[in-house]
Amino acid sequence: MPASYKIYAKSLHDHFKVFYANWPPGENIKLGDYGILNGDVFIPEGNITEQFNLQFNRRDDPTKDNYNFKSTDSVSITFLPKGSYTQTGMPSVKASLKIDFSNTASVFFNAAGIKHSLIEGMDKLGKTILGMFETQKWPASRFVVTRLVQADSATIIISGKSGASMTLDAESDAIPNINLADASIKLAVSD
């Protein structure tokens, strides 16, 4: 089986097409970072503002999104809701999410509270970098982060063998079911 990071990065790029992963997923990547692609994984080497004094304007999207996917036909998900009450009488919901993998290297991915940032005027920046490349001032085969996608929380599970399964327990206050798009839920592995 390929390394987990390769499975994760390839699955993410295959599903979203325009996104490349960094590894580990929580690594601090910034707009303007440049580096190489190792397969489908971005490996940063520096930032264009610091190393090349290239400036740009940043645009942040104020809305938040949720992204999720699972390997087609090889991952099944079952929600198992269970209600309970705390000592104070306030309702609390505890539920389980059972994930079954029918193939090795299958992926379950859920990211909540996605924020988007991008470089404005990418055409102008691209022409500047192309000019630097032509005068051998830009390193060959380097890519620039022009769009950044960050999540408040993410769950990434990769099966190590066919027939594997995992159950996640979740808890949230006063809601009738567990919403994976809610970054405040508390997920824990139960088996």
In this predicted model, what pLDDT tens digit does every residue of 63-90 receive, in sequence order? 998 988 888 778 888 877 665 555 565 5
SS3 category, 186: strand
Q: Cβ-count burial of 177 within 10 angstroms (0-12 exposed, 13-18 middle, 19+ buried)? A: exposed
- Cα–Cα distance measured from residue 166 to residue 136, given in angstroms and rounded to the nearest whole number: 51
Residue 41 has pLDDT above 50, yes or no: yes
More confident residue, 172 or 105: 105
Residue spans of beta strands (DSSP E) within 89-176: 91-101, 107-120, 143-144, 147-150, 153-158, 165-173
Which token pair is 125? 């920046």
Q: What is the average pLDDT across 120-128? A: 93
- Cα–Cα distance measured from residue 110 to residue 91, given in angstroms and rounded to the nearest whole number: 26
Continuous segment of H or E residues that includes residue 6: helix 4-16
- Cα–Cα distance measured from residue 125 to residue 119, given in angstroms and rounded to the nearest whole number: 9
SS3 category, 154: strand
Task: Tell me the pLDDT band of 174, cut-offs 50, 70 and 90.
Answer: very low
Identify the DSSP state of 27.
Answer: -
SS3 category, 50: helix
Residue 160 has pLDDT above 60, yes or no: yes
Q: Is 174 left (phi over 0), alpha (psi -120 to 50) or beta?
A: left
For residue 163, count other CB atoms closer than 10 A to its CB.
10
More confident residue, 85 or 155: 155
